[in-house]
Chain A
């Protein structure tokens, strides 16, 4: 017991130190947490004893909380607005970024199921990293920001369809079963959204309470029950958690977000750590060249996505590059997808995705920060062209 407390305490302090360090450099902490996981554990600098089991259980909760909060942050109004304006950007996002992972998987000689997981890994940007970046770099007022955020919203809802599909495919289901799963997932999402619109206030009354403790326990309990049930019917528990987040009406969702955010931060950190723990440094090395190539190519395809989306909003050349660079970071959801593949037995995805997210989790924020400097040689300054045009 003493060893457990000591080990966990030291790990949390280490994570705090790293998160602080990352924050000062304007980087995300996610790649650093992964790195700690990679360096610790079997074959690493220090083998964890008592706390490893706890960290892995906490990591499972971390995935659920990541998806729950994603659902809680969803707003139907924002989704329809994004859909109306940026549906083509969402399609371009999928068409540019998912094939990168899929083709890389084929080149590496993986099964098509593993390739599909890799497609998800390269497709989904990290909304956590990107949202944080935009606020840290004080870009909420920038003209390209709505297009960046719209792409993220569309990706988030696409996850609700992609995750069930992936789970069926990974568990060896037929194409028909996969199509049915997607249909069912879409149906459930629609039912949940409609139900939350018409019956949401009942759910709000049941879950809402003046007491933070009550909100915390009720929402968390409901999430775990639903996640457990969806797991029993062979769907992804993460999708269950996401649906709970979607179903909770706006007022209660706001409370729940505030109450659950610290919990999410803690458990998500342990999730990244536990994902890294599954891979030893020695296992990682052979995957480095492939991960690097994947990171470089998919950074460019994301920049392409951002350029396209921002151009739809009439943003100038520099803003377009900024939009693309802001989207380049991959993080929590790439790891969630990779974890699904690993737990289905495609263990080769683990080290590849770890290395990939470490690279883009560090490179992405750097690209976003220096986008203007990088694009300057190619993009004309608009000062001379548009003085006095007044927008």
Chain B
């Protein structure tokens, strides 16, 4: 999907895209943390109707509802700020040797330095999981670390 990003000096950033049904939709991320959702009008494609305005908290909640990919994106933001840090998701296969084992038993951080910062299970996200958190096959693990560290985690989990 094509998302156009437009800088609004002093206000924030606007993201714009077209839905399959033909509606042209925009999201204005304002500097103060609020979000405006707008839909462009058919009779004047330059004008937009504001559908709703969300506070920072509401937008976070909506993002969580809309799904886990957003979590990865947020770590992607973080990794952009710190050179050398990257994030990735690794899917734990069903029947893996860690299926049903605690997160701590993978010893991922000890061995690679990379951290598993979130476990995405279906439409449910466990942010910052404790070592006792039991993993299940089909979980998506969000890993943050160096490139080689993440490769190491992938190696451990998929071996």
Are B8 and A391 closer than 8 Å at their CB atoms? Answer: no
Are A81 and B46 closer than 8 Å at their CB atoms? Answer: no
Residues of chain A within 8 A of B43, CB atoms compared: 381-383
- B14: contacting residue among A79, A131, A140, A318, CB under 8 A: A140
Are A140 and B10 closer than 8 Å at their CB atoms? Answer: no
- B46: contacting residue among A82, A142, A149, A390, CB under 8 A: A142
Are A149 and B8 closer than 8 Å at their CB atoms? Answer: yes
**Is B62 on the interface with A (CB-CB < 8 A)?**
no
Residues of chain B within 8 A of A315, CB atoms compared: 46
The answer for the CA separation of A145 and B16 in the assembled complex, in Å, is 14
Are A391 and B10 closer than 8 Å at their CB atoms? Answer: no
**Is A93 on the interface with B (CB-CB < 8 A)?**
no
Are A316 and B44 closer than 8 Å at their CB atoms? Answer: yes
Are A383 and B42 closer than 8 Å at their CB atoms? Answer: yes
Are A390 and B18 closer than 8 Å at their CB atoms? Answer: yes
Contact with B along A367-389 (1 / 0, CB 8 A): 00000100000000111001110
Are B22 and A152 closer than 8 Å at their CB atoms? Answer: no
Residues of chain B within 8 A of A316, CB atoms compared: 44-46
**Is A146 on the interface with B (CB-CB < 8 A)?**
yes
Are A146 and B8 closer than 8 Å at their CB atoms? Answer: yes
Shortest distance from the beta carbon of A314 to any chain B beta carbon, whole Å:
9
Are A127 and B10 closer than 8 Å at their CB atoms? Answer: yes
Which of A82, A127, A142, A387 has the largest count of B CB atoms less than 10 A from its CB?
A142
Contact with B along A312-347 (1 / 0, CB 8 A): 000110110010000000000000000000000000
- B36: contacting residue among A82, A140, A150, A372, CB under 8 A: A140
The answer for the CA separation of A79 and B9 in the assembled complex, in Å, is 8
Shortest distance from the beta carbon of A84 to any chain B beta carbon, whole Å:
10
For residue B44, which residue of chain A has the nearest CB?
Answer: A318
How many residues of chain A are within 8 Å of chain B by beta carbon? 38
Which of B18, B24, B40, B43 has the largest count of A CB atoms less than 10 A from its CB?
B43
How many residues of chain B are within 8 Å of chain A by beta carbon? 25
Contact with A along B33-69 (1 / 0, CB 8 A): 0001010101111111010000000000000000000
User: Given A140-B36, A141-B26, A391-B24, are A150 and B44 also a contact pair (CB < 8 Å)?
Assistant: no
- A153: contacting residue among B10, B18, B28, B47, CB under 8 A: B10
Residues of chain A within 8 A of B26, CB atoms compared: 141
The answer for the CA separation of A147 and B108 in the assembled complex, in Å, is 50
The answer for the CA separation of A206 and B35 in the assembled complex, in Å, is 32
Are B47 and A318 closer than 8 Å at their CB atoms? Answer: yes
For residue B43, which residue of chain A has the nearest CB?
Answer: A383
Are B44 and A319 closer than 8 Å at their CB atoms? Answer: yes
User: Given A141-B28, A141-B50, A390-B18, are A152 and B45 also a contact pair (CB < 8 Å)?
Assistant: no
Which of A138, A152, A322 has the largest count of B CB atoms less than 10 A from its CB?
A138
For residue A316, which residue of chain B has the nearest CB?
Answer: B46
**Is B6 on the interface with A (CB-CB < 8 A)?**
yes
For residue A387, which residue of chain B has the nearest CB?
Answer: B42
Are B10 and A73 closer than 8 Å at their CB atoms? Answer: yes
**Is A60 on the interface with B (CB-CB < 8 A)?**
no
Q: Which 4 A-B pairs have the closest CB atoms?
A: A141-B38, A319-B46, A143-B46, A141-B48
Known: A77-B7, A143-B48. 18 other contacts (CB 8 A): A131-B11, A139-B48, A141-B28, A141-B38, A141-B40, A142-B48, A152-B9, A152-B10, A316-B46, A318-B47, A319-B47, A372-B44, A383-B42, A383-B43, A383-B44, A390-B18, A391-B18, A391-B45
Instruction: Mark A residues whose CB is within 8 Å of B.
Output: 73, 75, 77-79, 81-82, 127, 131, 134-135, 138-146, 149-150, 152-153, 315-316, 318-319, 322, 372, 381-383, 386-388, 390-391
- Show 15 residue pairs from A and B whose CB-CB distance is below 8 angstroms, ordered by the A residue: A131-B11, A134-B11, A139-B48, A140-B12, A140-B14, A140-B28, A141-B38, A144-B46, A150-B9, A318-B44, A319-B44, A319-B46, A383-B44, A390-B24, A391-B45
